[in-house]
Amino acid sequence: MCLGIPVRIVELNRDTAIGEVGGVQREISVMMTPDAKVGDYVIVHAGFAIQIVDQEEAKENLRILEQMARAVDEKREKVRRRKNARG
């Protein structure tokens, strides 16, 4: 299984771009998405932009990923509390 993350392109060079998600910027390859422009959202997997997506789809995917992360954090906290209660 692979996980692609929606990333907004904030700077574009020839075959690379600076992508931003959650305030974090990273260099990504845009060789597989030659039509990508600054402001576009792309799905990034293993450092490669593999697909251009519209803003609504990107934001919905980010919202779902945030929900998943919160659920994992809540589960970890419950497990930690149980362990602490047992001593």
What are the residue boundaries of the structural domains of the chain, listed by start? 5-86
For 67, list phi and psi in degrees, rounded to 5: -60, -40
Q: What is the pLDDT of residue 35?
A: 97
- In this structure, whether the domain defined by 5-86 belongs to CATH 3.40.50.1390 is answered with no
Q: What is the pLDDT of residue 86?
A: 84
Q: What is the pLDDT of residue 1?
A: 58
Q: What is the pLDDT of residue 45?
A: 96
For 86, list phi and psi in degrees, rounded to 5: -75, -25
Q: What is the pLDDT of residue 11?
A: 98
Low-confidence ranges of the chain (pLDDT < 50): none
pTM of the prediction? Answer: 0.81
Joined tokens for residue 86? 């047992």
